[in-house]
């Protein structure tokens, strides 16, 4: 049994009707505050017919006319929800009762092209062409010298507790002494160059 035309639709039904994935509809909902589906317990979304028409209009602006999200947001602010919702016909076809009578179909009013063109032009920012880019910075590496290390600075010892046991240092003195000599030689070479 088909739903009534004014029935609420789930996101999967709307996604199928608009040929748009559900994650895109949720993204548009985050970008366009005018889309306000009813949320039931558990966060399930139910879209009203007005929401569906607005989504169809947004899809038309983004996919058919090539507007950016910012351009579509600006058009929504300037012209309103009803204008955007009326850009396309009803996205979900209504089932007519089999009465044998020919249904009267109203064609939607054509979208005013000049307004849309103005919105597109105002949303697009022109690219700035730079004829001569800035020159590459030149650095004279020979002029740079390493920072002076004060030789009178006392050595610092760290471990997990913040203090080093003197017996451990004395026990490792034979291993530490060659390292200190190498360090002094490196410092002397650095200060000489």
User: In this model, does residue 43 exceed pLDDT 80?
Assistant: yes
What confidence score (pLDDT) does residue 99 get?
46
- Domain boundaries, position 40: 9-94+109-123
Q: Does any domain span residue 133?
A: no
Q: What confidence category does residue 21 fall into, taking pLDDT thresholds of 50, 70 and 90?
A: very high
36-50, 82-96, 128-142, 166-180: range with highest mean pLDDT:
36-50
Measured distance CA(6)–CA(95) in Å, rounded: 12
Q: Does any domain span residue 73?
A: yes
What confidence score (pLDDT) does residue 59 get?
92
Looking at the structure, tell me whether residues 38 and 86 fall in a common domain: yes
88-134, pLDDT tens digit by residue? 876 665 454 444 445 555 555 555 566 666 666 666 666 666 666 66
What confidence score (pLDDT) does residue 96 get?
45
Count of the separate structural domains present in the chain: 2
SS3 at position 130: coil
Q: Exposed, middle or buried: residue 119 (CB in 10 Å: 0-12, 13-18, 19+)?
A: buried
Looking at the structure, tell me whether residues 72 and 13 fall in a common domain: yes
Looking at the structure, tell me whether residues 114 and 154 fall in a common domain: no
Please name the residues in contact with 162: beta carbons below 8 A apart, sequence gap of 6 or more: none
| pTM score | 0.47
Looking at the structure, tell me whether residues 43 and 117 fall in a common domain: yes
Range in 22-26, 57-61, 103-107, 176-180 with the lowest mean pLDDT: 103-107
Looking at the structure, tell me whether residues 151 and 115 fall in a common domain: no
Query: What percentage of the chain reaches a pLDDT higher than 90?
Result: 17
Looking at the structure, tell me whether residues 18 and 113 fall in a common domain: yes
């Amino acid at each position: 049994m088909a739903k009534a035309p004014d029935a609420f639709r789930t996101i999967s039904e709307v996604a199928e009707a608009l040929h748009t994935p559900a994650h895109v509809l949720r993204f548009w909902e985050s970008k366009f505050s005018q889309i306000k589906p009813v949320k039931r317990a558990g966060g399930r979304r139910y879209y009203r017919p007005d929401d569906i028409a607005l989504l169809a209009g947004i899809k038309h602006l983004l996919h058919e006319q090539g507007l950016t999200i910012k351009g579509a947001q600006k058009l929504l602010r300037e012209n309103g929800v009803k204008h955007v919702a009326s850009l396309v016909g009803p996205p979900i076809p209504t089932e007519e009762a089999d009465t044998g009578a020919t249904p009267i179909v109203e064609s939607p009013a054509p979208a005013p092209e000049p307004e849309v063109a103005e919105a597109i032009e105002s949303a697009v920012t022109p690219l700035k062409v730079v004829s001569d880019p800035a020159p590459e910075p030149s650095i004279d590496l020979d002029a740079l010298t390493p920072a002076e290390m004060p030789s009178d600075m006392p050595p610092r010892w760290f471990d997990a507790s913040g203090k080093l046991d003197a017996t451990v240092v004395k026990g490792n003195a034979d291993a530490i002494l060659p390292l200190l000599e190498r360090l002094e030689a490196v410092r002397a070479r650095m200060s000489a160059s």
